[in-house]
Each structure stands twice: as C-alpha cells, then as structure tokens.
Amino acid sequence: MFRKILIANRGEIACRVAHSARRLGVETVAVYSDADAQAKHVAACDEAVRLGPAAARESYLVGASILRAAQATGAEAIHPGYGFLSENAEFAAACEKAGVVFIGPPAKSIHAMGSKSAAKTLMQSAGVPLVPGYHGDDQDPALLASAAQAIGFPVLIKASAGGGGKGMRIVRNASEFAQSLSSCKREALASFGDDKVLVEKYLQRPRHIEIQIFADSHGNCVYLFERDCSVQRRHQKVLEEAPAPGMTEQRRSSMGAAAVAAARAVAYVGAGTVEFIVDHDGTFYFMEMNTRLQVEHPVTEMITGFDLVEWQLRIACGEALPCRQEDLKFEGHALEARLYAENPDRGFLPSTGTLRRLHLPAASEFVVHDGARRASVRIDSGVREGDTISPYYDPMIAKLIVWGEDRATALARMHAALAGVQIIGVSNNIEFLGRVVASSAFATADLDTGLIERHHDELLPKHGVPEPQVIALAVAAQVLNERSRRGSDPWDSIEAFRLHLPASRRFEFEDGGIEVFAQLDYQPGGKLRLTVGEHGAELAIAAGPEASINILWGEERVAGDVVLEAEALHVFHRARYRILTVIDRLQHTADADARAGGLTAPMPGKIVAINAQAGTRVARGAALLVMEAMKMEH
Ligand code: ADP
C-alpha cells in the first residue's frame, strides 16, 4: 500500500478519499485554492499545499502545480476524485511520466473514452449497442442539421467532451437547431475547451442505468451491479439508487457483460462506470463511460459492503481484484440524495452564501444478517457550518445515503434523513427532494428521466400560505425570546396582571410576499390564547434544547425548530422550512417598481452573449442576456 497520497480535489470527495486513506494507514496531502484555505477537506488531510487563486482554472485544474505538490511532499500517488483533472488524459500521462501513480485508468483508456464521439465509434466496433445518431468528425453546421433531420426530431445535441449535463440541448424541431447548436458549442467551449458536438435521437421517457465496473492490471474485470440515476434535473442526477427497481437477473448480466466488454475494449484499469440509456422495453444503449469514481458510488458501497476507494488504492498499487464475478453479491437497497445549494423555484439556479446553520442527520450503524455491520444512514459532506458556498465550484452541500433491507425501508429512512436536515444561508433543494421521495411516482418506482418535469406542479408547488402550525411556532419563538431577554423585572412583563381588559397583541409576518397575522391574548392567570385565522385555542409553550420548541395549541402538539436572526424567524417544521420576517410597519418599504427597467443578476457571473440592443422592443420572456455562472449558462 502507498505510504502517502495526494488528493487533487476538494469538497466531499476529497474528504471521502481522505477517510478511506486514513483507515488504511495512508497519509494524505490536500491541495487548496485561496477560497478553500480553511475548507473541510484541508482539515481532513495530514498536510496541505496551496495551489493558487480561487478560480479552478488557476488552482484545481493546474496539473503542473499539483504534480509539483505531490513531489514536494513525497506523495507516491494522486487520487483525482471526480471532476477537475479526473478525466484528463494529459494529466494522467504527466503523472506516469513523473513517476507518480495516477489512481485511475491509464492515460490511453481515458483518452479513448474522453470524447463521447470517439468512444461511440469504438463501442460500435466492440458490439455495444448505441443510440441512433451522428458522432462524426465533420462539424459543419449544415451537415449537423441534416444529420438531425435524418435522425428525426426530437434530437439531442451533446458536447463530445461533455459531462455533468453541460452543453446538452434538446431540439424539438428544425427551426430551433441552429440556435441550440451555437449555444451548446459556446457552453462546451467554456466548460471543456472543446466545442465538438454529436447529435443523437432523443429518447422519450428513458431510464438512466449505469454499471459500476472494476478492472485490475492483471487482466481481471468485474461489474459491481447497477445504479439507477433516472431522477434528474437539467440532465443532472439528484437521486440515485441501487439496485435498479424492476431489474431482472438476465438483463443485469447482459448489461454487466456489455459494460465489461466496453472496459476491455480500452484496456481499462481501476474504477469506471458505463452509462446506458434504457428504453421502456428494456433495450439498452451505450451512452458514455466515465473513467473515474462517480458521485453516486456510495449506493454501490452500501449494497455490496465494499469500500470502492480502497479498491482503487489497492489496484493502483498493483494488487489483483479481491474477488471474481461469481463471488459478488449485493444486499438490500440504497438511495442517495444530493443536497445542492440551489433554488428549485428558480429553475434550480445555484445559490451562494454562508452556511449560517448546517444540521445534518447523524450517521448511524446497526447490525444486519450474518453479523455484518451496515450503516443505515451515511452522510458525505465537504462543508461545515460557517463555511461558504462560493460561485467558483459545484454547489453541492452533501450527499445523504441510506440503506434498507428493501426499497420501502430505504425510502422511509430517506424521509427521516431529509427531515433531519436544517440549512440557513443558501437556497437549497431539501424540500424539493422530500417531495420527490414522497411522490407516488418515485415511491412506486415509475422512474424515467422526465419524472421531475412531468410532475412539475406536484414537485414544485407555488409558494403558498404557511401552515398555522408554522405561524404558531414563530409566535412561540418570539414569546420565548422576549421572556429570556426580559429576565425577571415585573415592570417589563407584558404578561403580568393588568387592570381593565386583558392584553392582546397582533403578530405580523411576511413569508415570500405573503403577509400572515396572528393574535395572542394574555388571559388572566398567565394563560395564553393564540388565534391564527379561524383557529383560536389556548397555547402552552416549552423551550427544548437549542432551537427546538414544543407547543400545545388546543389539542394539538407541535414541535419544531426556530432560529431567530434579526427580523427573520427561520422555522423548521416537519421537513418544511419557512422564513417568516417580522413586518415593521414603520420601516420604509422599497418601491418595487423602482426595479422595472433594470435587471439584477442573482449571482456573480460572466455575460457571454447579449441578444438585445438598446432600443430593441422585446417580448416578455425573451432572452436578453446569457450569463455564465457556476459553469452553466443562465
Ligand atoms: P453528461 O456526460 O453531460 O452527464 P450524458 O451523456 O451522461 O451527459 O447524459 C446525461 C443525461 O442526459 C442522461 O442521464 C439522460 O437523462 C439524458 N440523455 C442523454 N442522452 C439521451 C438521449 N439520447 N435521449 C434522451 N435522454 C438522453
């Protein structure tokens, strides 16, 4: 085993690799940009080397600096994680040349799979089934347009060097083709430095099923079953699971065999994933091979009990695979949910800011069959409370991974895990994930890549009036806060005995443009009565540990957490999160119309296209500017 490795990544994957290395007694070197000097992954490693400024291009993507850091610290190998340089053949070759082990496949295999177009040509000759399409070298726009015509609309334009759904455009008819092509090329160039595209048939309601493979340097190759990653937004995975619901033994082995054939065709070594797109009838087509560890690898670890990073390290050291295909089996069902700093109500636009509160559920362990210990809840995160989600990198906050004896059990655990998350400071997809997991489509495993869009109204409901329980919790928090501030001075207490009528107060809050009211009456004997809308009942309040509050409102018990910040009350109640702002009638309200005629970017970014000039008459909804931020076009 290596004595010391360098982890050429950041965030959760750097922490995750460091965790396995530590368990194996391998020392770790972190690298970081200026934005990450205090990051969790730096703390997770034994040593750390600064790379450069925040921009990935000047830090995590500078192969020469990373190699120098490895040599300076005496690291024998480099683990690239995913993203950044993980699929960069030149970097892998530079490592080989410098005598530093690249923990991944040989540069030649990466190169062979690096271009989706070239990979398709290769797979075609290896007999792996492909989606009908054009993946040639000639990039003449007229030729591409006629290829699209020949394939038949709708078609999908993909960046050949693509990844993470970037650059991908669905084109529904010939008139949209030219614009989609240029936008795809622009995004591809910005993200991958290569604007080559391919065009293929856009399948309706397909599933995304991928096979995890592992090959060693002794000629052995196995598959560690499949993952279903059909639940996607913007062609990016948000929920993954293993095994794939409805998978038959026969299809599993034929997909596994196709994946192994794909790996063998490029003399693969290490961990890889062969992605397939699957039609309703179960016909599967090769999409691409990712020559690295995937974000969603934990679901495979949960059902097999293996540590895939350990396998990667052992194979990179020259060890043989620990088992043969026929010895491999899996147990139970695992789900992974990706927590992102993004705003589902605004087209999943990434959100940046400081994580003023970050509560994640506790990881747990318990015993199952044969005395094998299995974690039922696993959290992989790369940030801590107080850390910042910056515009420079992927806005993932954490991955929630659960395991259960069967899918229903895993699903129930996922519900509970999601309900245990509390985030203040950035918009996030927690409630959205909760709704997906709770939806009947997901619960009954009616999966395909269009699930989110098809159930848009159910999964992304309009912001409505907060539940009375939420308002009651907010009032209770206000009362508790006042009590704790006042101390015991009787002259200060609104709850003390008074003459004439009992005291009564009106609470006014604003929640996403909706105003809500509550009335609190201080009754004789110190009792409180709360009225929200039609519902009025006696209110008893008890403060729990930290921000938790328990109330008894009439017959109803309500529990939640309320965090007070200046005028805002952050209320967490039954997997829901609302921000109620105390309305201050004396405060000058900004004139909303003052913004008409102006435009404010919701995040820092770079304007990459301007579609209108001063004086142009535009229709509502027309695209005026294209901004590139967080490697996506908005
Ligand atoms: P990337 O490498 O950018 O992630 P992929 O080729 O892996 O791109 O595709 C990402 C997702 O896009 C797939 O999981 C699937 O949902 C969708 N997709 C890709 N190709 C097709 C297709 N031909 N028809 C329908 N959907 C597709």
Between 60-74, 289-303, 329-343, 498-512, the lowest mean confidence (pLDDT) is in: 498-512
The predicted structure's pLDDT at residue 482: 86
Q: Is the CB of 232 under 6 A from ligand 1?
A: yes
For residue 309, give the nearest of 11, 26, 3, 10 by alpha carbon. Answer: 26
* 419 CA distance to ligand 1 middle (Å): 30
Question: Could you count the other beta carbons within 10 Å of the beta carbon of residue 406?
Answer: 9
What is the best residue among 208, 236, 631 to mutate for testing ligand 1's pocket, by most ligand atoms within 8 Å of CB? Answer: 208
What is the predicted pLDDT for the residue at 605? Answer: 81
- The ligand 1 atom nearest the CA atom of 285: 23
* Ligand 1 centroid from CA 13, angstroms: 23
Band of residue 491 on the pLDDT scale cut at 50, 70, 90: low
Residue 387: pLDDT band (50, 70, 90) is very high
Q: Which two tokens stand for residue 328?
A: 């491999």
pLDDT of residue 10: 98
Provide the pLDDT confidence category of residue 591 given band limits of 50, 70 and 90.
very low
Q: How many Å lie between the centroid of ligand 1 and the Cα of residue 214?
A: 23
- 331 CA from centroid of ligand 1 (Å): 28
**Predicted pLDDT of residue 601:** 78
**What separation in Å is there between the alpha carbon of 286 and the centre of ligand 1?**
10
Q: What is the mean pLDDT of residues 423-446?
A: 97
**346-350 average pLDDT score:** 88
- The letter for the amino acid at 557 is R
Per-residue pLDDT band for 620 (boundaries 50, 70, 90) equals confident
For residue 165 and ligand 1, the question of a CB distance below 6 A is answered with yes
Among 115-124, 249-258, 354-363, where is mean pLDDT lowest? 115-124
Which tokens go with 369?
A: 């069959």
| Å from CA of 157 to ligand 1 middle | 10
Q: Is the CB of 197 under 6 A from ligand 1?
A: no
Average pLDDT over residues 90-115: 96
- In the predicted structure, residue 633 carries a pLDDT above the cut 90: no
Q: Is the CB of 156 under 6 A from ligand 1?
A: yes
Is the separation of the CB atoms in 429 and 340 below 8 Å? yes
CA-based radius of gyration for the chain: 27
Q: Is the pLDDT of residue 442 over 50?
A: yes
Span 367-392, average pLDDT? 83
Average pLDDT of the segment spanning 351-368: 85
Atom of ligand 1 nearest to the CA of 159: 3
Mean pLDDT of 268-292: 95
Q: What is the pLDDT of residue 293?
A: 98
Pocket flag, ligand 1, residue 164 (CB < 6 Å): yes
Residue 593 has pLDDT above 70, yes or no: no
Asked whether residue 42 carries a pLDDT value surpassing 70, the answer given is yes
154 preceded by a cis bond (ω within 30 of 0): yes
pLDDT of residue 485: 79
> What's the average model confidence in pLDDT over 472-486?
91
Q: Is the CB of 288 under 6 A from ligand 1?
A: yes
Mean pLDDT for 579-592 is 71
287 Cβ closer than 6 Å to some ligand 1 atom: yes
Mean pLDDT along residues 237-245: 97
Which are the catalytic amino acids? 292
Residue located via tokens 């294209």: 626
Query: Of 52-61, 104-113, 341-350, which gets the smallest average pLDDT?
Result: 341-350
What is the rounded distance in angstroms from the CA atom of residue 181 to the CA atom of residue 202?
15
| Cβ(379)–Cβ(401) below 8 Å | yes
What pLDDT, on the 0 to 100 scale, is given for residue 425?
A: 96
Residue nearest to atom 9 of ligand 1 (CA): 165
Instruction: For residue 547, give every residue at least 6 positions away whose Cβ sits within 8 Å of its Cβ, in sequence order, or none.
Output: 561, 562, 563
Residue with tokens 């396995």: 20
Predicted pLDDT at 497? 57
What's the pLDDT band for 190 if we cut at 50, 70, 90?
A: confident
For the segment 139-157, what is each residue's pLDDT rounded down to a tens digit?
A: 999 999 999 999 999 999 9
Nearest CA to ligand 1 atom 23: 202
What is the position in ligand 1's atom list of the atom closest to the CA of 208?
14
Q: Is the pLDDT at 486 greater than 80, yes or no?
A: no
Residue 47 has what pLDDT?
A: 98
pLDDT at 500 over 90: no
Instruction: Say whether pLDDT at 595 is over 60.
Output: no
pLDDT number for residue 276: 97
Cα 634 to middle of ligand 1, angstroms: 19
Residue 547 has pLDDT above 60, yes or no: yes
Which one of 116, 117, 166, 168 would you pick to mutate in the ligand 1 pocket, going by the greatest count of ligand atoms within 8 A of its CB? Answer: 168
Q: Which of 156, 194, 273, 287 to mutate to test the pocket of ligand 1 (most atoms within 8 A of CB)?
A: 287
N-term to C-term CA, the chain = 46
Band (495; pLDDT cuts 50, 70, 90):
low
What average pLDDT does the segment 207-232 reach? 98
d(CA 120, CA 277): 13
Question: What average pLDDT does range 85-101 have in this prediction?
Answer: 97
Strand 548-553, strand 556-565: pairing: antiparallel
Evaluate: CB of 167 within 6 angstroms of ligand 1: no
Instruction: From residue 348, give the alpha-carbon distance in Å to each of 232, 341, 344, 428.
Output: 11, 9, 4, 9
Instruction: State yes or no: pLDDT of 544 exceeds 50.
Output: yes
Residue 68 has pLDDT above 80, yes or no: yes
Q: Is 474 helix (H, G, I), strand (E, B) or coil?
A: helix
State the average pLDDT over residues 269-279. 97
Instruction: Identify whether the C-beta of residue 107 lies closer than 8 Å to the C-beta of residue 100.
Output: no
Q: Fill in the DSSP letter of residue 436.
A: H
Does ligand 1 come within 6 angstroms of the Cβ of 235? yes
569 three-class SS: strand
- Ligand 1 centre and the CA of 56: distance in Å? 25
**More confident of the two residues 13 and 371:** 13
> Is 131's C-beta closer than 6 angstroms to any atom of ligand 1?
yes
pLDDT, the chain, mean: 92
| pLDDT score for 374 | 75
- For residue 202, give the ligand 1 atom closest to its CA: 24
Higher pLDDT residue, 147 or 114? Answer: 147
Residues contacting 387, CB < 8 A, separation 6+: 38, 39, 40, 354, 355, 358
CB half-sphere exposure, 215, CA atoms < 13 A: 25
